Amino acid sequence: MTIKVGDRIPSVKVMQATAEGPKEVALDELFAGRTAVLFGVPGAFTPTCSAKHLPGFVTHAAALKAKGVDLVACMAVNDAFVMGAWGKDQGITDQVALLGDGSAALTKALGLELDLTARGLGLRCQRFALVAKDGVVTHVAVEAPGAFEVSKAEAVLAAL
């Protein structure tokens, strides 16, 4: 079942890309006591993700913080090494935490699987954005296939 408003962030471990290398984190612990935005992309280095989705959250990081957001995190069904390389490629410093969901455990726990096997990409995550306050989801927006409207940074800002 797809995550919805009022649900708790699942207690799933992901790998966070850090300057020191991959670090295992439990998502519920990472979000505890914070207002957090989590957005998911089908894959690092993919066209819309690299040209629009991630850069939009980097551009609007200060505006999100001004609206009370303590943490902005991006997740994809990629390993932490790929997420780290993508972050370097995109010039990410501390604006967005990059989370690798290499086994799709978080994607499955959120109910947001996307089967792109026919395109050679295997199981991925649907494009989405959510807001959680102290681990409780207050806003969820899942894109229609091929769309990029409801999960972009500007839409999340408007929902806050």
Which residues are designated catalytic?
49
* Helix/strand/coil for 99: strand
Residue ranges with strand state E in the chain = 13-18, 21-26, 35-40, 71-76, 97-100, 113-116, 122-125, 128-133, 136-142
CB 33 within 8 A of CB 134: yes
Cα radius of gyration (the chain): 14
What is the spatial distance between Cα 91 and Cα 132, in angstroms, rounded to a whole number? Answer: 26
CB 69 within 8 A of CB 35: yes
